[in-house]
Structure 1
Amino acid sequence: MKFKFWGVRGSIPTPGPMTVKYGGNTTCIEIRTERDELIILDAGTGIHALAQTLLGSMPITANIFITHTHWDHIQGLPFFLPIFFKNNRINIYGGLDPVTDENINRALSVQLQYSYFPIHEAQLKARIEYLTVRPGETVSVGSARITPIILNHPVLNFGYRVECDGASLFFTGDFENPVNIYQPEDDYYESFQLFLVEKNQEIQAAMRGVDALIVDSSYTDEEYAIRQGWGHGTYRSGIKLAIEANAKRLFLTHHEPTRTDADLDRIYRELKEQHPHFTDRLFIAHEGMEVCL
């Protein structure tokens, strides 16, 4: 199994001279099994560049797993060119939103409305199937097994564990480590604390021992202090997750949109200095980075 980053940016695309090295496209990760089965995690703007590489090998079957439906994780979906050609099969996986009671098909249907896009959903030529994933229920895609787990974010958000060919990875999507919203003297403090402990154990079990852990690390500790509750992690929380899960390699992604190449280079140097025991297992994700597991 191997994977490749096509988009590593969070919130909004950031093209320009200051983001050339790490890339300015939003979240998209390609996974290939040894049988060449195609799994795609999220459909940010990075999926457009991925699509260009697929046109010469059509017809294709693509399995797209959406972590959540915030714009930066789905905005490339209407530009995934294989959806416009017959004989292609596109399977789009996502959750049932408990607030709207809508399935993942709503993401593409809304994007292809007349007011937002020039092509109607009825004009798509590929065979598109929408499939609902549920927490803890493993989905088989060819030789791969994908297991979703709900992670904390201000919308339904799945992290995915992917296992195939004797290797494994876990991708968090957007994730902020939950904290107790009650004070110790409040009636609900202890019960909520117990819930957090159990949830943390569930998260650790889902990530445990993976060959690659890919995490949302949008903020520094200083930035997080004024952004708590926005649904994103920090560099420190990402490293903590990797250590607790005994992950073999950690990839930090979902770079904050104002973060320049120089900023990320500096942060990477500082992280390696602060965690010398982790240096050979720590990576800052960039577009085009390809990893064989």
Structure 2
Amino acid sequence: MKFKFWGVRGSIPTPGPQTIKYGGNTTCIEIRTDRNELIILDAGTGIHALAQTLLRDMPITAHIFITHTHWDHIQGLPFFLPIFFKNNRINLYGGQDPVTDENINRALSAQLQYSYFPIHEAQLKARIDYLTVRPGETVCVGSARITPIILNHPVLNFGYRVDCDGSSLFFTGDFESQINIYQPEDDDYASYRSFLLEKHQEIVAAMQDVDALIVDSSYTDEEYAIRLGWGHGTYRSGIQLATEANAKRLFLTHHEPTRTDADLDLIHRDLLEQHPQFADKLFIAREGLEVCL
């Protein structure tokens, strides 16, 4: 199994001279099994560049797993060119939102409304199937097994573990570790603390011993202090997860929009100095980076 980053930016695309090295497209990861089955994690603007490489191989079957439906994780769907050609098959996976009761089909159909896009959904030529994933229920795609787990974010959000060909990876999507909403003197503080610990242990178990852990690490600790509750992780929380889960390699992604290439280079150097045990297994995700597991 191998994977490749096509988009590593969070919140909004950031093209320009300051983001050439790491890239300015929003989240998209391509996975290929040893049998060349195509799995795609999220459909940010990076999926458009991926689509260009698929046109020569049509007809194709693509399995697109959406972590959540915030714009930066779905905004590339209408520009995924294989949807415009018949004989292609697109399987789009995602959750059923408990608040809106809507399924993943909303992610594409809403963007193809008259007010937002010039092409109507009825004009798509590919066969598009919408499939609902549920926490803990494994989905099989050829030789790959994809298992979703709910992770904390201000909308229904899945992390996905992919096991295939004797290798494994875990992608968090957007993820902020939950904090105790009660004060130590409150009656519910202890019980909620126990709940959070149980949930944390469940998350670490889902990531356990993966060959690659890809985590949302948008903020420094200083930035996070004024962004509490925005739904994103830190460099420190990513390293902590990798340590607890015994991940073989850690890839930090979902780069904050104002983060330049120079900023990310400096952060990488600082992290390696602070955590020398990660010298050969901590990476800043960048567009075009391909990893064979």
Q: Report the TM-score when normalising by structure 1.
A: 1.00
Q: Distance in 2 between matches of 1:269 and 1:200?
A: 28
Q: Distance in 2 between matches of 1:177 and 1:106?
A: 27
Superposition deviation, residue 227 in structure 1? 0.3
Q: Distance in 1 between matches of 2:91 and 2:160?
A: 16
**Residue in 1 aligned with 2:253?**
253
**Residue in 2 aligned with 1:275?**
275
**Residue in 1 aligned with 2:132?**
132
Q: Distance in 2 between matches of 1:177 and 1:129?
A: 32
- Structure 2 letter corresponding to 1:223: E
Residue-by-residue CA offset, 1:207-247 (whole Å, 9 max, x unaligned): 00000000000000110010010000000000000000000
Residue-by-residue CA offset, 1:140-183 (whole Å, 9 max, x unaligned): 00100000000000000000000000000000000001110101
Which SS does the other structure have where 1:181 is aligned?
coil
**Residue in 2 aligned with 1:47?**
47
Q: Distance in 2 between matches of 1:27 and 1:87?
A: 27
Superposition deviation, residue 194 in structure 1? 1.2
Q: Distance in 2 between matches of 1:196 and 1:224?
A: 19
Q: Distance in 2 between matches of 1:170 and 1:281?
A: 15
**Residue in 1 aligned with 2:121?**
121
Matches for 1:43-82 after TM superposition, within 5 Å: 43-82=43-82
**Residue in 1 aligned with 2:35?**
35
Matches for 1:77-88 after TM superposition, within 5 Å: 77-88=77-88
**Residue in 2 aligned with 1:230?**
230
**Residue in 2 aligned with 1:193?**
193
Superposition deviation, residue 253 in structure 1? 0.2
Matches for 1:176-191 after TM superposition, within 5 Å: 176-191=176-191
Q: Distance in 1 between matches of 2:179 and 2:266?
A: 29
Superposition deviation, residue 189 in structure 1? 1.3
Q: Distance in 1 between matches of 2:75 and 2:187?
A: 42
Q: Distance in 1 between matches of 2:155 and 2:279?
A: 33
**Residue in 2 aligned with 1:289?**
289
Q: Distance in 1 between matches of 2:213 and 2:81?
A: 29
**Residue in 2 aligned with 1:159?**
159
Superposition deviation, residue 35 in structure 1? 0.2
- Structure 2 letter corresponding to 1:81: L
Q: Distance in 2 between matches of 1:274 and 1:63?
A: 39
Matches for 1:237-248 after TM superposition, within 5 Å: 237-248=237-248
Which SS does the other structure have where 2:227 is aligned?
coil
**Residue in 2 aligned with 1:91?**
91
Q: Distance in 1 between matches of 2:123 and 2:288?
A: 31
Which SS does the other structure have where 1:25 is aligned?
coil
Identity %: 87
**Residue in 1 aligned with 2:100?**
100
Alignment size in residue pairs: 293
Residue-by-residue CA offset, 1:108-134 (whole Å, 9 max, x unaligned): 010000000000000000000000000
Q: Distance in 2 between matches of 1:190 and 1:131?
A: 39
C-alpha RMSD over aligned residues: 0.4
- Structure 1 letter corresponding to 2:210: V
**Residue in 2 aligned with 1:170?**
170
Gaps (5+ residues) in structure 1?
none
- Structure 2 letter corresponding to 1:132: T
Q: Distance in 2 between matches of 1:127 and 1:187?
A: 54
Deviates more, 1:182-191 or 1:131-140: 182-191
- Structure 2 letter corresponding to 1:276: P
- Structure 2 letter corresponding to 1:9: R
